[in-house]
Amino acid sequence: MQLEGRALSWRYGNGPWLFQNYSITIQPGEVVGLIGPSGCGKTTLGRLLAGYSKPLTGEVKVPGRARNHTGYDPVQLIFQHPERAVNPRWRMAKTLTEGWSPDTELLESLGIKEEWLQRYPNELSGGELQRCCIARALGPNTQFLIADEMTTMLDAVTQAQIWHTVLHHASVRQIGLLVISHDHALVSRICTRTLTFG
Amino acid sequence: MPLLEVQQLSIAFQQYTKGSRQQMVTVMEELDLAINEGEIVAVVGASGSGKSLLAHAIMGILPANAYISGSIRYNGEQLDEAKLKSLRGSEIALVPQSVSYLNPLIRVGKQLQTNKDSIEQHSERKGLFERFRLGEHVARLFPFQLSGGMARKVLVSTAALSRTRLIIADEPTPGMHPDDVAEALKQFKQLAAEGCAVLLITHDIEAAIRIADKVAVCYAGSIIEIAPASDFSGAGNELRHPYSQALWRALPQNGFIPISGTQPSMGLGLQGCLFADRCNRAVDACKVSRQESRQIRSGIVRCMHAT
């Protein structure tokens, strides 16, 4: 039941290869850190694993992913910029229930307030939006979560708060986590294993 | 005399509520801050606490529905629209928060130049690109072709020129590799050594205390503490405000301890200390009236418990 990327390669257009024949596996319940210099393709790797783009070589194997990529995907990606990951014309209530209906317990543990639900994304701060994006991605069918600089834009208190909640849910439900980050202190604090990329 | 002096700065936005009904929402209240030449002042604090608004207020680029009161003085003179027009892009420079501040249709190399540039600035900028390990091809790229970290480096190199006297850097480092962060910080430090004043707005406390002289902590639209950077050390017992301590102790390398709750928005017209409902030292008096700034141990704090 592992998430597996085998011999993945990617480059943009005719540019230099970002990575070639790169393989990665993530076991359920594991917290893996991914560290590397900017522009080396960490985000791109996350997108390949989550099924947003098709790798140029190799394949991504995910248990339970529909062949035509319809329905709720077991690999959920959380983006660095939450404001670009939500529909600006939807109220938060619609965005939150896009894939499943989060229960009040989860909303409370992420500090999401009732009054945010009737607002539009531009009426929430980045931290408030990111909390909503995380709730949206923690549906019952989520088996792997890719956190791409998930808390980079947030202050330390909010970062600690969000990670405690996410790590708790991940360990209870045995969700495998890939943590893409530049913050060595954060990665060494929460990850069971660290990969250096690029 | 400080190069930049902000006094009693309040910002409010006029917003539509229902139909044509409007209301004023206060987002920043009675903020005081001063920076001397050669000094680096960091503003850290909660996301959405109004740190960027401060930068935008100084640069005069707030949206049209914003109302400002209080005074901003530069070099002893009131900083008004006319004065700003001549200083922006030459003496005062902004490092904006994201690539969305760049024109998406113009190659970045071209955007970094202004018509105030001379040959000297050209070669300076070339040197900066080399130091940040940005290849020569980067100048020919469009903003969307830059990765997150590359974009930051490009933005930092817009401001780091020798003619600048005041740099306002709005979150210049997130998403950057530690080596590049160090390079960018070194850049700011060097500019300060040459007499430039730097206002560093960031939530990366680590980075802030590495180069700043003073650190101002922002929460829900007001500065709750201004402390010497050296007070951010150990268990944070030198810090004066409970929120500053919580912020310090929540860092992954210092315990990773969260506190519950979220930052209130100032527009709700809350009474008393804005941190009171998350503070473990709050007493009834905290919830009645807003705390005035007090001078304690060569720092400034808004908390009645601080000693």
Residue of B170, B177, B277 to mutate, testing the A interface (most A Cβ within 10 Å of its Cβ):
B177
Does the CB of B180 have a partner CB in chain A at under 8 Å? yes
Write out pLDDT tens, residues A13-40. 898 899 999 999 999 999 999 998 877 8
Question: Which of A126, A127, A185 is opposite residue B252, by nearest beta carbon?
Answer: A185
Amino acid, res. A62? V
The CA-CA-CA angle for residues A24, A29, A34, to 5°, reads: 40
The Cα B182–Cα B207 span in angstroms is 8
Is A32 within 8 Å of A5 (Cβ atoms)?
A: no
Question: Which of A38, A157, A163 is opposite residue B259, by nearest beta carbon?
Answer: A157
Q: Hey, which residues 236-255 in chain B have their CB within 8 Å of chain A?
A: 246-248, 250-253
Is A25 within 8 Å of A63 (Cβ atoms)?
A: no
| DSSP notation for A138-197 | --TT--EEEEESTTTTS-HHHHHHHHHHHHHHHHHHT-EEEEE-S-HHHHHHH-SEEEE-
Per-residue confidence (pLDDT) for residue A133, from 0 to 100: 96
CA dihedral in degrees (A45, A50, A55, A59; nearest 10)?
110
Write out pLDDT tens, residues A51-66. 999 999 999 999 888 8
A chain contacts of residue B148, beta-carbon cutoff 8 Å = 38, 43, 80, 149
- B63 sits in the region (left: phi over 0; alpha: psi -120 to 50; else beta) called beta
Does the CB of A148 have a partner CB in chain B at under 8 Å? no
What's the pTM value of the predicted model, to 2 decimals? Answer: 0.86
CB atoms within 10 A of CB A168: 11
Q: Which tokens belong to B156? A: 């930092």
Write out pLDDT tens, residues A144-157. 999 999 998 888 99
Distance from CA of B239 to the nearest CA of A (A): 16
Does the CB of A193 have a partner CB in chain B at under 8 Å? no
pLDDT at A163 over 70: yes
Give the chain A residue whose CA is nearest to the CA of B49: A125
Give the chain A residue whose CA is nearest to the CA of B50: A125
Amino acid, res. B274? L
Does the CB of A183 have a partner CB in chain B at under 8 Å? yes
Task: Give the 3-state secondary structure of residue B212.
Answer: coil
Q: Find the mean pLDDT for residues A66-76.
A: 89
The Cα B101–Cα B95 span in angstroms is 10
- A64 sits in the region (left: phi over 0; alpha: psi -120 to 50; else beta) called left
Cα dihedral across residues B170, B175, B180, B181: positive or negative:
positive
The Cα A141–Cα B286 span in angstroms is 45
What domains sit in chain B, N to C, each tagged with a CATH number?
Answer: 4-299 (3.40.50.300)
Per-residue confidence (pLDDT) for residue A2, from 0 to 100: 94
Distance from CA of B107 to the nearest CA of A (A): 17
Which contacts qualify for A81-88: CB closer than 8 Å, 24 or more apart?
A81/A126, A81/A153, A82/A126, A82/A129, A82/A130, A82/A132, A82/A133, A83/A121, A83/A122, A83/A126, A83/A129, A85/A133, A86/A121, A86/A129, A86/A132, A86/A133, A87/A121, A88/A120, A88/A121, A88/A122
The Cα A37–Cα B271 span in angstroms is 46
Q: Are strands B222-228 and B299-301 parallel, antiparallel or unpaired?
A: antiparallel
Give the chain B residue whose CA is nearest to the CA of A150: B175
Give the chain B residue whose CA is nearest to the CA of A12: B145
Interchain contact, B258 vs A160, CB within 8 Å: yes
- A24 pairs with which residues across the strands? A5
Question: Which of A39, A128, A153 is opposite residue B149, by nearest beta carbon?
Answer: A39
Ranges in chain B, pLDDT < 70: 115-116, 160, 162, 175, 266-269
Q: Which tokens belong to B187? A: 């850049």
Q: Which tokens belong to B270? A: 């809350």
Per-residue confidence (pLDDT) for residue B127, from 0 to 100: 84
The percent of residues above 90 in pLDDT, for chain A, comes to 72
